[in-house]
């Protein structure tokens, strides 16, 4: 089990077409058939190959705009790739502040829907239902629609579903920012006890402490390219060095601006 | 190998459970939310029938026998079709929360939504059978031939699913498909023998019952549910052919355009 591949990506790439005027209707498309649309192509992920084994905890490092989020969405199967091929073995879940919840549904319904999407059977959800509600500290609001929740309540529910149900492969994008200090502490405890041992986790974080503490391997991305994939410490060093270079180049400009 | 097949079976059973769960929730959202609740699901076809009955029987004096039942079955099939096509154009937008954070198969979203409409159709069909056989005065009675409604329903389901796939995939790149389809569906409605005689329709527009798949399904449904005769098999095969052809197109479009829903919508 441990040594089988969870995700295998071969030569994947993804670019976004950003145009000033959006051809969003048939009418618009017809009327502007010969007019160039002024498209800008932004390559977000350039020709990456990587393999992630089951049970691994992988860190993703890189500065803003380096393609981390795009890579995560590609690996989770949310975005299709432009080229290359991805094999995903198991259900995936992408998690940042909110996970897939409908605001039209009640907490109860959302727990069942999300749990089911994550690959659990109804009976299994029945058994962890109370646990999810209790963990989210939402005992009195089970049959309230999410749209009447405060943002903190919704975030706690999303987090609690993810923590207690969990997909085979979890993508965590800066997740340790949910709830108050007490809730965070609880979240980290569950993260450590159940996720690190057993599930495949891909962790995106700007906190080097978090990456260093949990990740078995880490990847360093820059400008849409996979610069390094392997030893966690090495990746962190590369990332820190990249940050220093960036601040050195921007520092004189900043000083000039301040002088003016 | 053995472990794999077992695991596959387990995951596929979870899939069925999930589709059914989503269908139930969708059905509840559609009707229970309303102040009239589930009653609305029953009142809707009756009011539809009533309106058309007043116009065509009371005012225009149509001579179709058992006209209320004639309308009833035509309208519930049409409403199912409309609900599953016009009603789902924005499905990839409204159900984004399901696929935005996971690798859930989008097909499940479509099937569950259509299944929830099917629950409605099922109740309506029971109402129709009750109405036709116990309230309508002269009827052909119940019989084995009524069972042909099942393949007809499957045909309608595939056709609606196919168009739903096509329309909602196009919606990602052309939002005004909503308006275009609205016009198109009005044309389909009036060019289907829903409130006038199928014979009139067939003589005035020959071969059009073969061009308009929903017309063929309604004609055949009346044959087996009201007239107590066999299916018109050539019509049935044609309609099934349409449905499968459209389904192929729909799947291609979902694969090509629909897969970009997460980044475009």
Radius of gyration of chain B measured on its C-alpha atoms: 20
Give CA torsion, residues B182, B187, B190, B193, to 10 deg.
Answer: -110
What is the per-residue pLDDT across A75-113, written as a single tens digit (0 to 9) for each?
Answer: 988 888 989 999 998 888 887 655 678 888 999 999 999
Q: In this predicted complex, what is the ipTM?
A: 0.83
User: pLDDT digit string (tens) for A32-67?
Assistant: 777 666 678 888 899 899 999 988 889 999 888 888
Q: Using CB atoms, which residue from B17, B103, B174 is nearest to A78? A: B103
Split at pLDDT 50, 70, 90, the class of A1 is: very low
Q: What is the mean pLDDT of residues B79-89?
A: 94
Going from N- to C-terminal start, the domains of chain B cover: 2-264
Contact residues for B207 (Cβ-Cβ < 8 A; gap 6+): none
- For residues B6-10, give the mean pLDDT: 55
| Strands A83-88 vs A92-95: parallel, antiparallel or unpaired | unpaired
- Please state, rounded to an integer, the average pLDDT across all residues of chain B: 87
Task: Provide the mean pLDDT of chain A.
Answer: 83
The token pair at A54 is 């089951």
Across A133-141, average pLDDT: 90
pLDDT at B33 over 90: no
Residue A169: what are its φ and ψ, rounded to 5°? -120, 120
Other CB atoms closer than 10 Å to residue A153's CB: what's the count?
18
**Please, what are the domains in chain A?**
5-90+168-259 (3.40.50.300)
Q: Do B173 and A119 touch (CB under 8 A)?
A: no
pLDDT value at position A92?
Answer: 86
Mean pLDDT calculated for residue range A149-160: 86
Report the distance separating Cα A79 and Cα A70, nearest Å: 8
Nearest by CB to residue B21, choosing from A16, A29, A116, is: A116
Question: Looking at the complex, does the CB of residue A91 fall below 8 Å from at least one CB of chain B?
Answer: yes
pLDDT of amino acid B13: 65
Burial of B218-247, coded b for 16+ CB within 10 Å and e otherwise, reads bbbbbbbbbeeeebbeebbebbbebbeebb
Span A177-202, pLDDT tens digits: 666 788 778 777 877 777 666 788 89
Q: B175: which chain A residues are within 8 Å (Cβ-Cβ)?
A: 24-25
Cβ within 8 Å, pair B173-A24: yes
Residue-wise pLDDT for B193-222, tens only, equals: 888 888 888 888 888 888 889 999 999 999
Q: How confident is the model at residue B249 (pLDDT cuts 50, 70, 90)?
A: very high
| pLDDT: which is higher, A160 or A19 | A160
In 3D space, the residue among A182, A113, A128, A192 whose CA is nearest the CA of residue A160 turns out to be: A128
Q: What percent of chain A has pLDDT over 70?
A: 86
- Encode pLDDT of A232-244 as tens digits: 999 999 999 988 8
- Assess whether pLDDT exceeds 60 at residue B11: no
* Nearest chain B CA: its distance from A198 CA (Å): 17
**Which tokens belong to B151?**
């393949």
């Amino acid at each position: 089990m441990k040594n089988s591949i969870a995700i295998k990506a071969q030569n994947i790439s993804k670019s976004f077409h950003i145009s000033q005027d959006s051809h969003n209707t048939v009418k618009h498309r017809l009327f502007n058939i010969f007019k160039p649309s002024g498209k800008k192509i932004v390559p977000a992920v350039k020709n990456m190959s990587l393999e992630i084994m089951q049970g691994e905890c992988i860190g993703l490092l890189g500065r803003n705009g380096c393609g981390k989020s795009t890579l995560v969405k590609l690996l989770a199967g949310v975005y299709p790739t432009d080229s290359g091929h991805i094999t995903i073995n198991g259900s995936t879940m992408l998690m940042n502040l909110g996970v897939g919840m409908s605001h039209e549904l009640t907490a109860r319904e959302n727990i069942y829907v999300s749990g089911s999407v994550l690959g659990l059977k109804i009976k299994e959800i029945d058994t962890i239902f109370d646990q999810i509600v209790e963990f989210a500290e939402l005992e009195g609001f089970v049959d309230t629609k999410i749209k009447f929740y405060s943002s903190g309540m919704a975030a706690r529910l999303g987090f609690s579903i993810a923590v207690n149900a969990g997909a085979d492969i979890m993508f965590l994008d800066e997740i340790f920012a949910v709830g108050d200090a007490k809730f965070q502490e609880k979240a980290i405890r569950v993260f450590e006890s159940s996720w690190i041992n057993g599930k495949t986790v891909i962790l995106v974080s700007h906190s080097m402490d978090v990456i260093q503490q949990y990740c078995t391997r880490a990847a360093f991305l820059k400008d849409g390219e996979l610069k390094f994939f392997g030893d966690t410490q090495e990746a962190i060093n590369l990332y820190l060095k990249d940050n220093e270079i960036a601040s050195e180049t921007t520092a004189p400009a900043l000083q000039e601006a301040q002088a003016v | 190998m053995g472990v794999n097949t077992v695991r596959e079976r387990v995951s596929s059973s979870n899939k069925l459970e999930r589709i059914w769960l989503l269908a139930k929730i969708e059905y509840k959202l559609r009707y229970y939310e309303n102040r009239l609740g589930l009653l609305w699901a029953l009142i809707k076809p009756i009011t539809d029938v009533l309106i058309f009955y007043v116009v065509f029987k009371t005012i225009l004096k149509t001579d179709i026998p058992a006209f209320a039942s004639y309308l009833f079955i035509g309208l519930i099939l049409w409403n199912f079709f409309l609900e599953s096509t016009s009603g789902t154009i924005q499905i990839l937008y409204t159900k984004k929360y399901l696929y935005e954070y996971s690798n859930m198969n989008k097909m499940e979203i479509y099937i569950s939504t259509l299944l929830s409409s099917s629950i409605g159709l099922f109740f309506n069909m029971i109402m129709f059978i009750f109405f036709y056989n116990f309230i309508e005065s002269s009827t052909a009675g119940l019989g084995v031939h009524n069972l042909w409604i099942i393949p007809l329903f499957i045909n309608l389901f595939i056709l609606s699913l196919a168009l739903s796939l096509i329309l909602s995939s196009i919606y990602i790149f052309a939002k005004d498909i909503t308006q275009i389809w609205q016009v198109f569906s009005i044309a389909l409605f009036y060019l289907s023998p829903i409130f006038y005689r199928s014979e009139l329709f067939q003589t005035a527009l020959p071969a059009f019952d073969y061009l308009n798949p929903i017309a063929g399904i309604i004609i055949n449904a009346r044959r087996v549910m009201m007239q107590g005769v066999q299916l018109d098999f050539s019509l049935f095969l044609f309609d099934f052919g349409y449905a499968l052809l459209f389904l192929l197109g729909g799947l291609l479009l979902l694969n090509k355009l629909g897969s970009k829903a997460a980044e475009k919508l």
